[in-house]
Structure 1
Amino acid sequence: MSTVDTVSHHPLVQQLREEASEAARLSGQALASLAWLWPIRGIIYTVTHPQVVLSVHKALLTSLITSTIIFLLLAFFTYIPQAAFLSIFTGLFIGPVLALLLIGAESVFFITFFARALFLEPALSQVFDATLVSRGQSGLVRDGKTKYASSGKKEGIEGALVRPFQALSRDGFVKYLVTLPLNFVPVIGTVAFLFLNGYRGGPGWHARYFQLKGWDVNQRKRFIQKKRAEYTAFGMMTLLFTFIPLIGLVFSFTNTVGAALWAAEMEAQENLIDKPQTQENAESTQSESSRDKAKSD
């Protein structure tokens, strides 16, 4: 068997093909779902309600410094050759812009080594909870923490952190690296990169929500599959914001706010569906009691 055949039959390559096919199939649904608006709403909500992120201002400042340093280092050493290469295919105006996006994608790759486990994920989970509380979902946060505090698990609720870089964890880390060269293909390649990694990484932004709900692995999988198109759109937009030069990592906080706003809306809709049924049952019981009383009289 040739080297090409060996590579093409590698499990990782086959899995990437399946994910790419699924992401392409869902592309229309993802865009039509409007779930990609939630990260934008997260920015607006953060600006109008700064208190949701000010509680983690140290982590926010550290993120800004880390993102800036890594981006500047990459830009200093790699921007010119990448911009020159891309300009050959896209022209002198588009090439330099695409090179900036590519460096943003590369910076995310390196940031995972420094920021994720050290300070980013715990701060994002705190922001997620604060946003839920500000949107009237304090019961969800309180019940979720209480449930896992009394379960005796070592990890507890604090183990369910927001995963902004889920696409870069374990095998996803390798897949991200393998798909990174797609950005060298003008426009289409970058869009494919965003869709593929958005498809994989989108659900990670709701890891905290799933555990606050107390869902097991199968429940999460069913829910994610049901909303796969929405999560793809959400993940794609969050990645795009993360690629913004110098301040990309800071958008992880606004993306988290957007994810929490989305979760709060889903909770509100779920309660709205349940509430009329409860009221109807109460009214039915009250009506029966009135009839029984009238008969006895």
Structure 2
Amino acid sequence: MIIPSSYPVQGVMYFIGHPQLITSILCPIIMTILWAIAATIFAFAYLLKVQAHALIRVNCPAGLAWFVCVIFVLLELALMILLFYLIILPIYQDGLFDRVLKLRGLRHVLEQNKGNGVVKCMRGVQGGLLIVFIQIIVLLLTLPLNLVPVLGQVIYAGINGWILTFGMRFHYDVEIRNYSVSQSKSEAWKRRSDFVGFGGIAVLLELIPLANLLFMWTNIVGCALWVADEIEKAERTTMAQQQEPQRQQQQQQQQQQSTLSSGGGSGGPFSPLPQSTSSLSPTLTKQDQPPIKKTGSRLSWFGRNKDQLRQRDQEPGPGQV
């Protein structure tokens, strides 16, 4: 049974159990860390002072101004890192996704669905830009929900989780299954409960500070595992449907053989001939035979009485009188 909400955790375990996947994310992780360091220096060295002095100039107490600005700078810093992630992640996530499918023995799925490279490239660029744009807009609109304890974060994770899952599976839909952007979007909405279940857990993992740099990639691994299980399930179903006529034919042959073997003692076509009545019926003895009625005369071959024939021979003919 496929439970989408369990795959983010499965992705973490699978990533730990397959160290060769680390090489696929070393470059983007190093780039993200360098960007985070640069953004942190810029935020606290420049943005913090500018915003604090601006609040002080409007007669805001200095202590309160600096405290509020620190909170604002942290939020801005997180937003800058997240935007960088949204831009750089699609460049590397497709390679990680395909590598997981290959480790699951589904290389043939990638090779048999090559299609038109130009069309897939255009679809990928169009859909990728659309998804990134939607992710940024929804992220900015739902970011204040994190100020509400527990409930706000759950709602935030559910809304952004659907979009996150749509973006992760977009590569599979467009470049492997040769779906159009509209078909991929329609399926994402049709299966929104599964997408929210997977994406909600994935977003909650990405809210954990520092660890989210790892969970961003393990979520992709989990999504690839989810897709791999769906592909294997579909292949098993197809194989079972193809083997069904052969299985039914074998069952019919077995039934015919069992019918022939069981019909041997009940007059079947290969049953032995019945014994003759002389061997089956008991032999009658002389005492058991019914008495034969004796008559005074014996019958000739023509059924006449021999005495009558003798009398006729003794009578004179018409010439003897």
Interval of TM-score (by shorter of Structure 1 and Structure 2): 0.5 to 0.7
Counterpart residue identity of residue 204, structure 1: G
Does the CA contact (< 8 Å) of 1:162 and 1:205 recur in 2? no
Corresponding residue of 1:148:
116
Give the deviation of 1:67 after TM superposition.
Answer: 4.7
- Find the aligned partners of 2:140 and 2:38 in 1 and give their Cα distance: 21
Helix, strand or coil at the partner of 2:179: coil
- Find the aligned partners of 1:68 and 1:187 in 2 and give their Cα distance: 30
Counterpart residue identity of residue 258, structure 1: G
Which one has the bigger helix percentage?
A: 1
Q: Alpha carbons of 1:206 and 1:120: their partners in 2 closer, same or farther (altered >3 Å)?
A: same
Normalised to the residue count of structure 2, the TM-score between the two structures is 0.60
Q: Alpha carbons of 1:239 and 1:180: their partners in 2 closer, same or farther (altered >3 Å)?
A: same
Does the CA contact (< 8 Å) of 1:70 and 1:111 recur in 2? yes
Does the CA contact (< 8 Å) of 1:182 and 1:190 recur in 2? yes
Q: CA RMSD in A?
A: 3.6
**Structure having greater relative contact order (Cα 8 Å, sep ≥ 6):** 1
Counterpart residue identity of residue 213, structure 1: R
Does the CA contact (< 8 Å) of 1:162 and 1:206 recur in 2? no
- Find the aligned partners of 2:77 and 2:7 in 1 and give their Cα distance: 23
2:84 to 114, 131, 139: 114
Q: Which moved more, 1:119-128 or 1:266-275?
A: 119-128
- Find the aligned partners of 1:234 and 1:109 in 2 and give their Cα distance: 23
Is residue 175 of structure 2 the alignment partner of residue 207 of structure 1?
no
Give the deviation of 1:204 after TM superposition.
Answer: 1.4
Is residue 206 of structure 2 the alignment partner of residue 242 of structure 1?
yes
Q: Alpha carbons of 1:132 and 1:278: their partners in 2 closer, same or farther (altered >3 Å)?
A: same
Give the deviation of 1:39 after TM superposition.
Answer: 0.9
Corresponding residue of 2:197:
233
Does the CA contact (< 8 Å) of 2:28 and 2:92 recur in 1? yes
Helix, strand or coil at the partner of 2:115: helix
Give the deviation of 1:113 after TM superposition.
Answer: 3.6
Give the deviation of 1:139 after TM superposition.
Answer: 1.3
Counterpart residue identity of residue 152, structure 2: G
- Find the aligned partners of 1:204 and 1:246 in 2 and give their Cα distance: 22
Q: Deviations over 1:82-116 (max 9, x none)?
A: xxxxxxxxxxxxxxxxxx9xx6x865632354343
Is residue 233 of structure 2 the alignment partner of residue 264 of structure 1?
no
Corresponding residue of 2:215:
251
- Find the aligned partners of 1:157 and 1:133 in 2 and give their Cα distance: 23
List runs of 5+ in structure 1 lacking aligned partners: 1-32, 79-99, 289-297
Counterpart residue identity of residue 51, structure 1: Q
1:165-176 map, 5 Å: 166=131, 169-176=132-139
List runs of 5+ in structure 2 lacking aligned partners: 49-70, 253-321
Counterpart residue identity of residue 235, structure 2: N
Corresponding residue of 1:50:
19
Aligned residues: 229
Q: Which moved more, 1:217-226 or 1:122-131?
A: 217-226
Does the CA contact (< 8 Å) of 1:160 and 1:208 recur in 2? no
- Find the aligned partners of 2:104 and 2:77 in 1 and give their Cα distance: 33
Q: Alpha carbons of 1:276 and 1:230: their partners in 2 closer, same or farther (altered >3 Å)?
A: same
Does the CA contact (< 8 Å) of 2:206 and 2:215 recur in 1? yes
- Find the aligned partners of 2:29 and 2:246 in 1 and give their Cα distance: 48
Does the CA contact (< 8 Å) of 1:42 and 1:257 recur in 2? yes
| Identical counterparts, % of pairs | 25
1:278 to 223, 242, 261: 242
Does the CA contact (< 8 Å) of 1:124 and 1:162 recur in 2? no
Structure showing greater Rg: 2
Helix, strand or coil at the partner of 1:147: coil
Give the deviation of 1:251 after TM superposition.
Answer: 1.7
Counterpart residue identity of residue 257, structure 1: V
Q: Which moved more, 1:215-224 or 1:179-188?
A: 215-224
Give the deviation of 1:70 after TM superposition.
Answer: 5.0
